[in-house]
Structure 1
Amino acid sequence: MNGDFNCRCPSPYVGKHCQLRCISLLGMEGGGIAESQISASSVHYGFLGLQRWGSELARLNNKGLVNAWTSASYDRNPWIEINMQRKMRFTGIVTQGASRMGSAEFIKAFKVASSLDGRTYTMYRLDRQTKDTVFVGNVDNDSTKTNLFDPPIISQYFRIIPVVCRKACTLRFELVGCELNVYSNTAGCSEPLGMKSRLLSDRQISASSVYRTWGIEAFTWQPHYARLDKQGKTNAWTADTTKRTEWLQVDLESPKKITGIITQGAKDFGAVQFVSAFKVSYSDDGQFWSIVKDDVTSTDKIFSGNSDNNVHKKNLFEPPFYARFVRILPWAWHGRITLRMELLGCDE
């Protein structure tokens, strides 16, 4: 990252404007930003309408034949937007193009708009400037380009507006910044804790039981398969029974601040399966457990889960909790109890 992080500011403030040091990757590549948080003005359908270049694909370094967002050819004012679900401090963006049907496509220049409510938007301008800032984008389909925001952007909604595109407006990207504590305006805590990235090892993930399709050992839906976006024939955890006594457990090995969870279902040889509602319990020692409560009713909180096998569903814990062990307790499901997931939080 560019920038002066050596000026004399009171800790933890840095930079020529003495802002919080705030350069976390916010979750496009890592999965911390769920598909439901990403929207766009339009989507391109390629190859006889069979390829959907959807906004949910606009993740930095996304792989595959169809691996980015492309706006529709008729869209004269395209945009792609992230709803972070709470106020954030954005300090930068990393952009990348993609190759479509062997042709390099990317955004050469773009503007940025932001909003606190999703209705009223402000175009990004440098201090004392009367014209919208135009950022230099990419020069090819695969290398990345980083742009920093100084001053940073404080908003919930972040919108990228292409100005000049090569062939088509095609984009993969990552946002840089940090969450803000609404009470103290200090940096927040919503990093993926290692399910998808495998920072959490297989032995740290356990479950009440496992299911074997047709009773075959090779088709065992192991607890450590419960990693967000895991691929393969057996690519999730599935419980042996369809009872509310089943659970999936993560041992973080040391207490962490837990601020949210992203869940996802899967398919068992074509059969769509997912957890549609669940509770969450936590423990410091793995023996004595507390269940996350509803702030209003003081009863066990039942979180809304998935409605299909693949789309991410994000739930935030407000307030967050501190724990070493976290258990997901399925409460309702479609088909068998089947789960892929990521925990969000930080060391604190």
Structure 2
Amino acid sequence: MLVTGVKIQGRADEAQWVTQFKVQYSNDGNSWTFVQHTNNQSDMIFDGNTDRSTISTNIFPAQVTAAYIRLVPTAWHIHISMRFEILGCKECKTPLGMKNRDIPATRIKVSSRGEYYIINSNDNTSTHHKGGSHARLDRFHYWVPDNDDINPWVQVYVGLGKIVSGIIIQGFKQHWTRHDFIKVQVNGSIFESINANLESTWTHDHPASHATLMFEKPVVTSVVRVEPNDCSETTRKLTNGNQIVILDCALRMELLGCGNIPEHGCVKPLGMETGDIQGTQIRVSYNHHQSNESRLNYRGYWGGSSPNINRWIMVYFGYVVNISGIVIQGYEVYWVELFVIEEMNNPTIGTQEYAANFDGYTPVTVLFEKLVHTTYIKVTPTACHNGYCGVRMEILGICDDNSNP
């Protein structure tokens, strides 16, 4: 089972509850691993309850695959007493939409579009392109990079906060990409290589068959990039006497995952895009007339080039809510590359910078290490593309038992 977090509650009939705890997980019931911080690999200590009835929701910094979950209280009020729920999903191998086109062509980017040439005896040449829309599993066509592309890649925007657990790759006839030379990268503009294990039988003798690569740990991301790096050029003579020049780096693929994290996993959009968050709740450091244009997928944006380094955008809720992350998006040639977060429990800007956008239209989901309980959240860009910021965004979280109505 893929486990994303836990909810805990105190004793129903007495003033007893756990105030802090750790979490262990196991796949055999004998060997146990603590859920750890992603930055320093130390054991995470989760916040528990402050009374016997309020539910405390804790999301893991990274999802874990486990058959067993163990909660380890480290501090408590009067006596250890606990009621809890486990958050997650049982299966994480659902196709995310490359083959059936649920992922539209506009969400598929490539480093280059390869060409192949049909050359006849009269030296007439017919040129054909193989773009990102051809990279779908079992499609008659396929994607190849340009001959001069030394760092080829296919990049897919899968949606807001998807859980991605693996990839199926496929070649075309005698053209393919070796599965052991595939690199999968995730998490916005700071891409990370993902270790994968080959699950299905696949050989170079049958490149049109499927090679299923399951990640060692599923990841939460909006963007997946696949980098093949075992490509060579081949000249092939057709039966009619024509020749075809093509790269062997042919790729068709499908992404596997669990779809969106369940709403109880604290990634519900809170209303920037829909307008549920009113314009009066959005405050900015400059260009105040653009503040209402800072909504995800809006036709405008907030930003600009400001001589004032202290540039920021803030959303005020008026009551305490649980914030789990943000979705940030640029606009055309303007976008934020790095930013920091401020909230009411940490009014001074921290040192942790989050990676944001790499272009002006792809939304990037940034999930925080733990839930933030706050009445406002402020986003401060620290680096912008060519010094010119462009921001459209959504706030993620949930209004549950810990929030005001």
Question: What TM-score comes out, normalization by structure 1 length?
Answer: 0.45
Question: What TM-score comes out, normalization by structure 2 length?
Answer: 0.39
Of structures 1 and 2, the larger Rg is shown by: 2
